[in-house]
Structure 1
Amino acid sequence: MRCTDRRKRFFFGSFLLIGMFLIAGCAKKESIIATYEKSEYNRDLYRADLYAENLCVAVENIELPGYTTDQQLHAAGLFGVNQEQVLYAQNLHNKLYPASTTKVLTAYVALKYGNLSDIVTVSRRAVTFDVDASVCGLQENDQITMEALLYGLLLHSGNDNAIAIAEHISGSVEAFVELMNEEARKLGATNTHFTNPHGLHEADHYTTAYDLYLIFNECMKNETFLTMISQSSYAATVQNPTSGTRQLTWTPSHFYAQGLAIPPQNAVIVGGKTGTEDLAGSCLILLEKDLSGNPYISIVMGAPDKTVLYNDMTSLISAIPAS
């Protein structure tokens, strides 16, 4: 009798699972299928409450009229925030190396637990990077506000800023990373595991395009975050007991802000986060608004170079349906 019950549960579960793969879009409340998946299968994708309000959900790849899938990319996605709809999906749930798009979660945790007016003292560890690493130019014993550190983190992608933020908020990088992973899980980003706050390559440091969407979407609810990513530059005042006071000016790292990539004509780029690393490739997550002011989140991960990255991002955004 027990074996018969198991067979029934197996066939019933299989039937529900097949039905789930036919669904792509946004659900207003948790469905019976999602509840069954979480209790019976305990799969990462459904273990989090992905069917909460205001979240886009896609299980399979979704084509978008006007955009041709680029097989060179590791993953890509386009999300209509107001529509709560996935407009395009390519490998959204594949685990990938994120490079500096990691810093979106770093910023989220810092904004949640930190104080923008705090004065942070920069440690030796925070300024110890290879010469070719992306840094904001901090020096050991610099004193700088948390607000300025976040501007440098999001605009200029400073690895030094990431370490300074982590140490100040949690006392150590390791403790901060634990907090990052805990917060990611709370947001439903259950296919994410980070080992540092900056995104430099480590084998066990990964996420998915969909998890990045979840994290970025939550960040967008914070007006300070939106203000920071939208700036064309930021001037930070830094004090050092040895060298005195100096100013550091940071500009966005994405090519649209630098004038090195032609933006799409049907949307305005608000801002976002770049990521570049040998194994991760070239990555970019953006917030843009169509000409009616509707917000969208676009993600491209694993492009082989910057040319492919921005050509594909522009093509993806250009395919946003007219509202």
Structure 2
Amino acid sequence: MTSAKPRRTVNNKAARLKKMRRRRIRHTILLVLLLIAVVGGGVFAIYTLRGGSLSTPVIPFQASNEFSSSVTARDSLKGNGFAKDLVVSAQDTPLDGVALETDQKGLLFDLANNKVLFAKGAYERVYPASITKIMTAMLALKYGNMDETVTITQENVTLEDGSQVCGFGAGDKVTMGQLVRCLLVYSGNDAASAIAEHIGGTTDNFVDMMNSYAAQLGCTGTHFSNPHGLQDENHYTTPYDIYLMLKEAMNYPSFTEITQLPSYTVEYTKADGSTMSTVLEATDHYLTGEAATPKDVKILGGKTGTTSLAGNCLALLCQNAYGQPFVSIVMGASSKELLYQEMSSLLQHIN
């Protein structure tokens, strides 16, 4: 009986060791399986995040999915910002050697680099005077047939005393192309009136076209009430809006071709059938030689404007010696002499 106890003890001990080994094996297997699951899950996650075929497609943001507003729902409105190709002037920018009078406004923009070189009151309201004719000319070039004959009406020649006119009379016949040249070279108000009536059907309709086109260009400080710029308190703009108009005018090659002319001879048929020829000198003194253009500056085009309330104004497209384009605007000078002095002080900086 005493010999059986040690044998049972040995057997029990062996059984326990065997059981412990099996438990370790099970734990090891479980740990390996868990490790495989973790590694596999990580690989799957990386695969999914990198656009694997099992991933859910990333849906781009759409305002219409987030808002019910009829405006925000139109995802087609999204695109490049309106001002991406524009010079943006946030504040007045001084320039050495340039000093406008207290009530004057003006600017100098580098179009090639979308840079403000000078700005004074760029967004303040001014009377444009005949700078208005930039818009009148663009609409004529956009919608008119330059070879079409226009008959001058009494309305076209019934203008305020002292108004700049080419001398047309009611019943005279002039082509649209001739009228545009008279408009831009000599700043003829009778030419502006004839263009407006012919293109718009009525002057009022044409003025609506002017305001609509200005809005399309982003002119937020402009309102036109006539096609020529004769004084009206509801006819105004800003230097910045003039820049927008001049920038648009560059898309019309005829505009810059015409506004570089030092003079223009218009030949037309009078109401009685006779032929009339009139030589018209440019109103831009740089073109006529009355003012000296700064060295290596080429005038590409632009427009003058003068009334008692607007003062003497000049808006120019020009380029430097390297062919880079600029817009330079001076509004409200007290005299023509001062106007060109101030403009030259600006243009000297483009080279």
**Fold in common (TM above 0.5):** yes
Pair 1:58 & 2:89 matched? yes
C-alpha separation between the residues in 1 aligned to 2:257 and 2:181?
9
The aligned amino acid for 1:168 is H
Instruction: Report matched runs for 1:1-323 at 5 Å.
Output: 51-64=82-95, 66-320=96-350, 322=351
Q: Using the TM superposition, give the Cα deviation of residue 129 of structure 1 relative to its aligned residue in structure 2, in angstroms.
A: 2.3
Other structure's SS at 2:85 match: coil
| Segment drifting more, 179-188 vs 105-114 | 105-114
CA displacement, residues 148-168 of structure 1 (integer Å, 9 cap, x when unaligned): 100010010000000000000
C-alpha separation between the residues in 2 aligned to 1:128 and 1:50?
45
CA displacement, residues 50-101 of structure 1 (integer Å, 9 cap, x when unaligned): 743421111211122x333323452111111222222111100001111110
C-alpha separation between the residues in 1 aligned to 2:315 and 2:98?
19
| Residues 237/105 of structure 1: CA separation in 2 closer, same or farther (3 Å cut) | same
C-alpha separation between the residues in 2 aligned to 1:309 and 1:267?
17
Contact map agreement 1:135 1:160 (CA 8 A) in 2? yes
Aligned to 2:27: none
Over the aligned positions, Cα root-mean-square deviation in angstroms equals 1.8
Contact map agreement 1:151 1:234 (CA 8 A) in 2? yes
C-alpha separation between the residues in 2 aligned to 1:270 and 1:114?
23
CA displacement, residues 273-321 of structure 1 (integer Å, 9 cap, x when unaligned): 110001111100011111122111100001111121111000011122x
C-alpha separation between the residues in 1 aligned to 2:97 and 2:201?
46
Aligned to 1:3: none
C-alpha separation between the residues in 1 aligned to 2:134 and 2:98?
28
C-alpha separation between the residues in 2 aligned to 1:282 and 1:50?
35
Other structure's SS at 1:282 match: strand
| Residues 259/72 of structure 1: CA separation in 2 closer, same or farther (3 Å cut) | farther
Query: Structure 2 unaligned runs (5+)?
Result: 1-70, 72-79
C-alpha separation between the residues in 2 aligned to 1:100 and 1:50?
31
Question: TM-score scaled by structure 2?
Answer: 0.75
C-alpha separation between the residues in 1 aligned to 2:292 and 2:256?
22
C-alpha separation between the residues in 2 aligned to 1:130 and 1:63?
39
Contact map agreement 1:67 1:319 (CA 8 A) in 2? no
How many aligned residue pairs are there?
Answer: 274
Other structure's SS at 1:58 match: coil
CA displacement, residues 222-269 of structure 1 (integer Å, 9 cap, x when unaligned): 111111111222222211231511122222101112222121113122
Q: Using the TM superposition, give the Cα deviation of residue 117 of structure 1 relative to its aligned residue in structure 2, in angstroms.
A: 1.2
Moved over 4 A (4+): none
Contact map agreement 1:281 1:303 (CA 8 A) in 2? yes
Contact map agreement 1:118 1:145 (CA 8 A) in 2? yes
CA displacement, residues 101-159 of structure 1 (integer Å, 9 cap, x when unaligned): 01001111111111111111100011112442111111111111111100010010000
Other structure's SS at 1:57 match: coil
Aligned to 2:66: none
Contact map agreement 2:260 2:287 (CA 8 A) in 1? no
Contact map agreement 1:78 1:316 (CA 8 A) in 2? yes
C-alpha separation between the residues in 1 aligned to 2:101 and 2:265?
40
Question: TM-score scaled by structure 1?
Answer: 0.81
Larger radius of gyration: 2
C-alpha separation between the residues in 1 aligned to 2:154 and 2:132?
22
The aligned amino acid for 1:107 is A
The aligned amino acid for 2:90 is V
Aligned to 1:34: none
The aligned amino acid for 1:184 is A
The aligned amino acid for 1:117 is D
